[in-house]
Amino acid sequence: MSMKFITREVNGVTILDLSGKITLGEGGLTLRDEVRSIVAKGSKKILLNLADVNYIDSSGLGELVSAFTAVKNAGGELKLLNLTKKVRDLLVITKLLTVFDVKDDETAAIAAFA
């Protein structure tokens, strides 16, 4: 199963509700394309809701990093919301948890954007 996503906007923050796998191939490319498309449209506050992402590999981690840097380079902010244990474990191992701003509550996450 590849990744699926729904995009919505709350108080000026674009939220991507992701589900499935973020891995090499279609899923990962979809995330990268979508985030770049959102940035190109002028949205600079992006929240990736990973509550239903049950699997990620090193390519998927790379996609998250690429999305983060693309948004940051455009002068925006990208945060992560609701990590599953599997995703959190890998972010800890790779020290990427120190890079991302990770939230567990959507309202608090939205309020945290500058």
Partner 1 sequence: MAKSADKVHSRNGWAPLTDSTANRTSLTLDSVLGSVEIVEETAEKFARNAGFDEDTASQIAMVSREAAVNAIVHGNKYDPTKRVNASFEITDKELTIQIADEGPGLDPEGIPDPLAPENILRSSGRGIFLMRAIMDEVHFRMLHPGTEIRLVKLRVQKEIHQ
> What residues line the site for partner 1 (CB under 8 A)?
23-25, 55, 57-59, 61-63, 65-66, 68-69, 85-86, 89-90, 93-96, 98-99
Per-residue burial over 62-71, b if 16 or more Cβ lie within 10 Å, else e, is ebbeebbebb
What minimum distance in Å lies between the beta carbon of 65 and partner 1?
A: 5
At closest approach, how far in Å is the CB of 98 from partner 1? 8
Nearer to partner 1 among residue 24 and residue 106 (C-beta)? 24
Sort 20 into a burial class: Cβ within 10 Å, 0-12 / 13-18 / 19+: middle
Q: Output the smallest distance, CB 14 to partner 1, in A.
A: 21
Phi, psi (rounded to 5 degrees) for 37:
-65, -40
